[in-house]
Amino acid sequence: MGNPMKIRAANKDGVTEVKVLVSHEMETGQRKDSAGAIVPAWFITELVAKHGDKVVLTSEFGPSVSKNPYLAFKFKGGAKGEKVTVSWKDNKGDSRTDEAAIN
């Protein structure tokens, strides 16, 4: 399941800025361990952000997104107290969803 994401959503002048910090290894599949064996790739492939029921961002990641991925984006609308939900899926089929209220 992974660790919880840190999500901050703040509304200013009718635009909500969302910042997400995901806890994930994002292993590229290029690295070798001390024994010389390749460390298998393990990374987030999809991340979807919703405001209420409306999708506000769909992203696809490759392994070259940094470990513990950070993402910031803005959408129009959103009011204080409303929910922003972020879900991710990785290449091993693991997934996680967290939500935060807009400030």
Partner 1 sequence: MNNQRRTVLKSGSGAALLGVLAAAGIITPGMALADWNKAAFDAKSMADTLKALGVSGTTDSKDVQVTGPDIAENGAVVPVGVASTLPNISMVAILIEKNPNALAASFVLPEGTEANVQTRVKMGQTSNIYALVKSDGKFFMATKEIKVTLGGCGG
Site residues, partner 1 (CB under 8 A): 15, 26, 28, 30, 45-46, 48, 54-67, 69-77
Question: Of 3 and 30, which CB lies nearer to partner 1 in the complex structure?
Answer: 30
What span, in angstroms and rounded, lies between the C-alpha atoms of 51 and 86?
Answer: 9
In the complex, minimum distance from the CB of residue 50 to partner 1, in angstroms, rounded to a whole number:
10
Whether 7 and 84 have beta carbons less than 8 Å apart is answered as yes
> Rounded to an integer, what is the distance from CA 102 to the centroid of its chain?
17
